[in-house]
């Protein structure tokens, strides 16, 4: 079956540091890949997505590239801010399934210190 | 925007009682809604998929008679936890998907803020 593995947290960084949160997946076919962010007290929000190999999703300074050869979708940001503190979830939706539910990783709690 | 609300945000009930959780899409029509369950420090686990006007599709291992789902309109889905027990205590999250072909964001899932259920 489908699965998503992401690095466990918490990840603590200083402001303006470089961020990488690793995410790898197991799936048949060509899934769509997502990063969601959950700020304290709020619901999950889509951060970025990629729907095919070599696609790069980007938003708010965050980027992730769909790497089929390594089955990875690592999240990166060049310079983090305190406001980026949140829980980040990597997720996939199986190919051809617009109506399918998502398979999530366990989430990575990111803490940015001033 | 695409806002999804859940009600209540938290609920405490006694063992053996039933609890209903509502999920509403406030500014769009959702042909499909999903229900997830999240344990502490665990990922969200898909419980079921509901399509407006039809029976929900449950994931393997999820008891359909325990977790009743009704998607009676394009803006409302409900999850009823019947005869709740302490092991049903969890964080329940819904998401709603726009209808196909409706502008940017079609097929994207928009998540509610979640409902914390505690069964005593």
- pLDDT at B103 > cutoff 50: no
What CA–CA distances, in Å, run from B27 to A21, A77, B1, B23? 33, 32, 7, 13
C-alpha torsion angle, residues A28, B36, B96, B113 (rounded to 10)? -130
A85 versus B3: which is more confidently predicted? A85
pLDDT at B69 over 90: yes
A56-73 pLDDT, tens per residue? 999 999 999 999 999 999
User: Stretch A87-109: mean pLDDT, rounded?
Assistant: 85
Question: How far is residue B117 from each of residues A89, B37, B48, B86, B100, measured CA to CA in Å?
Answer: 22, 10, 18, 9, 32
Q: Are strands A32-38 and A86-93 parallel, antiparallel or unpaired?
A: antiparallel
Total count of residues recorded for chain A: 114
Give B-chain residues touching A107 at CB under 8 angstroms: 41, 43
Q: What is the pLDDT of residue B109?
A: 84
Return the SS3 of B57: strand
The mean predicted confidence, pLDDT, of chain B is 89
The tokens for A90 are 């990597």
Which of B59, B107, B113 lies at the smallest CB-CB distance from A43? B113
Q: B5-30 pLDDT, tens per residue?
A: 999 999 999 999 999 999 999 988 88
Q: Residue B106 pLDDT more than 60?
A: no
Asked whether the beta carbons of residue B34 and residue A101 sit closer than 8 angstroms, the reply is: yes
Tens digit of pLDDT for each residue in B31-46?
899 999 998 777 899 9
d(CA A66, CA A54): 5
Least confident of A34-43, A89-98, B9-18: A89-98
């Amino acid at each position: 079956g489908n699965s998503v593995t992401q690095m466990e947290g918490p990840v603590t960084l200083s402001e303006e540091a470089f961020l990488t949160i690793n995410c790898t997946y197991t799936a048949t076919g060509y899934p769509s890949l997502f990063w969601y962010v959950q700020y304290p007290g709020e619901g999950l929000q889509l951060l970025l997505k990629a729907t095919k190999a070599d696609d790069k999703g980007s938003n708010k300074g965050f980027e992730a590239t769909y790497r089929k050869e390594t089955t990875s979708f690592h999240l990166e940001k060049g310079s983090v801010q305190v406001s980026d503190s949140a829980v980040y979830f990597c997720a996939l939706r199986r190919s051809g399934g617009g109506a399918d539910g998502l398979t999530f990783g366990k989430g990575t709690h990111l803490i940015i210190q001033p | 925007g695409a806002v999804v609300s859940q009600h209540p945000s938290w609920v405490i009930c006694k063992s053996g009682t039933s609890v209903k959780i509502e999920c509403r899409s406030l500014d769009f029509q959702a042909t499909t809604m999903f229900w997830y369950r999240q344990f502490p420090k665990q990922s969200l686990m898909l419980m079921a998929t509901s399509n407006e006007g039809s029976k929900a599709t449950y994931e393997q291992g999820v008891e359909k008679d325990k977790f009743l789902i009704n998607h009676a309109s394009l803006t409302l889905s409900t999850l009823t936890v019947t005869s709740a027990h302490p092991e049903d205590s969890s964080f329940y999250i819904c998401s709603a998907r726009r209808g196909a072909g409706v502008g940017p964001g079609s097929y994207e899932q928009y998540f509610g803020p979640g409902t914390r259920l505690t069964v005593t």
